[in-house]
């Protein structure tokens, strides 16, 4: 009979364990606290409806600003293209390129660009590269 009593006790214990497991499953999961709580709240806010946070987007205004930026970029590109065309029309001599390159330790391409910026004048190019204005005063 001890075995029967023991078996009955085992089944009662088993039922208690099952009931305890069900109670644990029914409990709400614990909400994170501290830094984890802040992170969880931030993630929940990001996952929510965008209009719920009070931010409204004016599509017409965005389109207007984008159009303005595109116009400015196109104007800048046009200006740079015109400047490159004007500079490429400046005649520079091979001797002046060599002179500026040797005096400044620039390569030939950089020396040529400096000469073109100075309208082909080696004196003006060297003065600008040295940080001195043509009249003798400093440019920087």
**Domain extent listing, the chain:** 92-140
pLDDT at 5: 52
User: What pLDDT, in 10s, does the model give residues 100-113?
Assistant: 998 988 899 999 99
Contacts 24+ apart (CB under 8 A), 95-103: 96/120, 96/122, 96/125, 99/126, 100/125, 100/126, 100/129
Residue 43 Rama label (left phi>0; alpha psi -120 to 50; beta): alpha
Q: Can you tell me which residue has the tokens 């400015």? A: 72
pLDDT at 20: 57
DSSP 89: T
Which ranges of the chain have pLDDT less than 50? 136-138, 140
């Amino acid at each position: 009979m001890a075995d029967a009593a023991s078996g009955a006790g085992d089944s009662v214990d088993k039922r208690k364990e099952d009931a305890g497991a069900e109670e644990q499953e029914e409990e709400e999961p614990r909400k994170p606290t501290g830094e984890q709580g802040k992170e969880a709240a931030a993630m929940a806010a990001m996952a929510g409806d965008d209009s719920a946070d009070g931010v409204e987007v004016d599509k017409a205004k965005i389109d207007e600003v984008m159009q303005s930026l595109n116009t400015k970029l196109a104007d800048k590109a046009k200006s740079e293209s015109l400047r490159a065309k004007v500079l490429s029309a400046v005649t520079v001599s091979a001797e002046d390129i060599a002179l500026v390159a040797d005096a400044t330790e620039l390569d030939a391409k950089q020396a040529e660009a400096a000469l073109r910026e100075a309208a082909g004048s080696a004196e003006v190019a060297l003065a600008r590269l040295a940080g001195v204005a043509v009249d003798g005063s400093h440019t920087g």
